[in-house]
Amino acid sequence: MKSQKVLFVCLGNICRSPTAHGVFEQLIARRALGLRIVVDSAGTANWHSGKAPDSRSIQAAHKRGYALNHLRARQVIVQDFDEFDVILAMDNSNLEDLRELCPSHFTGHLGLFLDFAKDRETEVPDPYHGGEEGFERVLDLVEDASEGLLAFLMDKKS
């Protein structure tokens, strides 16, 4: 069975998209779907390439039982559109940047991650310049949307 490949994208790839990466990876591992769904994350900017996630993201995720420390930041590249079936932006600005990069032959799904959430928020707010509560909010939104995304991928496959 061909695996489905999901890419989470934010600006720096050190706060929001690695959080989504770690949370969704664990959700799949818990439900033994690791062989069918491949997860990665990237940033539209290259400022933090090669770096581990922000220590505040690692800490907040760790408190909820998610591991992010194995992840390393990278910039999104045009080849990602050939590699991934589902590419999800954390906010509208990330989505605009991705649309500019997106080749016309891309046939996958490009959209906002929170389209899969129950929460009425449409964007995962950037927590980088704020306090601890911003990182908790990212986790709340990411957990919500991850459940919806998993249901979408299961449905697509059946």
- Any idea what DSSP says for residue 15? S
Question: Residue 14 CB, nearest distance to ligand 4NP (Å)?
Answer: 4
List the one residue from 47, 59, 118, 132 that touches ligand 4NP (CB under 6 A).
47
Residue with tokens 């929170």: 114
List the one residue from 11, 20, 68, 76 that touches ligand 4NP (CB under 6 A).
11
Active-site residue flag, 126? yes
Whether the CB-CB separation of 39 and 85 falls below 8 Å is answered with no
- Any idea what DSSP says for residue 97? H
Question: Residue 54 CB, nearest distance to ligand 4NP (Å)?
Answer: 7
Q: Does 16 bind ligand 4NP (CB under 6 A)?
A: yes
Q: Does 61 bind ligand 4NP (CB under 6 A)?
A: no
Active-site residue flag, 40? no
Question: Which one is catalytic: 10, 54, 56, 80?
Answer: 10
CA distance 123 to 101: 20
Number of H helices, E strands in the chain: 5, 4
CA distance 137 to 149: 18
Q: 129: helix, coil or strand?
A: coil
Q: 23: helix, coil or strand?
A: helix
User: Rule CB under 6 A: which of 105-144 touch ligand 4NP?
Assistant: 126, 128
Of 13-21, 61-69, 81-89, 115-123, which part binds ligand 4NP (CB under 6 A)? 13-21
Q: Which residues are catalytic?
A: 10, 16, 126
